[in-house]
Amino acid sequence: MSVRLTITARPGPNLKRAIVEAVREGKLRTFETYDRGRKLRHKQRATHPGYITLEWRAPDLLVEVRGKGEESQLLGSFVSRLHARFGEQVESVTLRFA
């Protein structure tokens, strides 16, 4: 099962690029990137299994959270980090269960 989010960014820099750069520079230490910055996974994969795909379609960031049985841990962690680090850059978040 997966959960899809559409994150509408306020005018400004590319939100996906900002998230990926924060992860790579160690400013967002909860996650790690792979697949050339298209995917994130939680560093504690035992308690937060699965991955997150990111796709930028200005002004929206399309996010898909794919868990291995339990998406809520991974989803909660991503949304809390998004709010804490990038809250001022986000206009709205739409959540869809797929």
Task: Give the three-class secondary structure for 78.
Answer: helix
What's the pLDDT score for residue 45? Answer: 87
Nearest to 31 by CA among 57, 4, 56, 51: 51
- pLDDT band at 68, cuts 50/70/90? confident
- pLDDT band at 98, cuts 50/70/90? confident
Task: Give the three-class secondary structure for 42.
Answer: strand
What's the pLDDT score for residue 82? Answer: 96
- pLDDT band at 79, cuts 50/70/90? very high
39-42 vs 31-34, strand pairing mode:
antiparallel
Domain residues of the chain, as ranges? 1-59
